[in-house]
Amino acid sequence: MERSTISRADGDVGRTVRRWLAAVGLGSLVVAAVLVGVSRSPLLRVRDVRVVGTSHTPPHRVERLAEVPVGEPILWLDESSIRERVLRDPWIADVRIDLELPSRVTLHVSERSPIATLEVAGWPVLVAEDGTVLGPGPTRGLPRIVLPAGPVTRREPRPELGTLTRLLATLDPAVRAQVRQLEVEDGGELGLRLDGRILVRLGAAREVQAKARALRAVLSWAAEQGVRPGVVNVIAPTVPTLTIAD
């Protein structure tokens, strides 16, 4: 008799647990259905798209690239696809997408800035610090990049391009303002041409920051001594050399 009582008690507990789990599962489904319904509510649909942070790229162009579906549920937007479309513009380095409930989408854009120029298919184009070819634009005051013979396109930039632009960005602003040309020789060695016909030999694309510091030090010393440099060699940045101009 005692065993039968225990067995019935165990059965009752089991049925209670199963009923509780079923109730929880049903409740979860109900909650999920409610949330889906709310997320598709007419109150939570895209009605306004804003673009902030641009200076070169017109906001309407960013909106056109983004193709944010106005009228669609804001919580169901494919943000990764929107981001991918916006980043097709070479001027746009990054974009952050904010969903401002109930109905506004804000695109926070970070743009690239031109740091040098390059000739592509016979026409000067602007190049950003990371080597991205931006396209045509005002080139006045920007140094010129000269690469060894070979094709250069916006879709397939040359690796040397990024090397030179990052080198330029590393230079002290006072030195960078003097740069008129950056070049890569056939052997891959880098060089600069500064105001006053000063040639700077940098060698291979390594120890770039050390070479930038050495160049600044040599030019500062020359200015203090009243010496006009002809060639500055910082291939070995710890022992730079200076040839005085004739």
* Res. 245: pLDDT tops 80: yes
**Is 129 in a helix, a strand, or coil?**
coil
For 83-125, the pLDDT digits (tens) are 999 999 999 999 999 999 999 999 999 999 999 999 887 889 9
Residues 73 and 181 in one domain: no
Task: Give yes or no for residue 30 having a pLDDT over 50.
Answer: no
Greatest CA separation found in the chain? 119
Alpha helices in the chain (DSSP H): 2-39, 59-66, 79-86, 159-170, 173-176, 208-225
| Domain span at 105 | 42-111
Which pair of tokens denotes residue 88?
Answer: 């097709």
Which of 73-82, 119-128, 196-205, 225-234 has the least mean pLDDT? 119-128
d(CA 206, CA 203): 8
The domain boundary, picked from 111, 135, 154, lies at 111
What is the side-by-side order of every strand in the sheet holding 104-111?
48-52, 104-111, 92-100
Residue 21 has pLDDT above 80, yes or no: no
Number of domains in the chain: 2
Segment 35-61 shows an average pLDDT of 83
Q: Please identify which residue in the block is written with the tokens 């440099």.
A: 229
Q: Do 49 and 59 meet the contact criterion of CB atoms below 8 Å apart?
A: no
Does 74 share its domain with 163?
no
**Is the pLDDT at 79 greater than 90, yes or no?**
yes
- Give buried/exposed letters for 142-152 (b at 16+ CB in 10 A, else e): bbbbebeeeeb
What is the three-class DSSP state of 153?
Answer: coil
Quick one: 180 and 119 in the same domain? yes
What is the average pLDDT value for the chain, to the nearest integer? 85
Average pLDDT over residues 26-49: 63
| Percent of the chain scoring above 90 in pLDDT | 67
Looking at residue 237, which CATH number applies to its domain? Answer: 3.40.50.11690
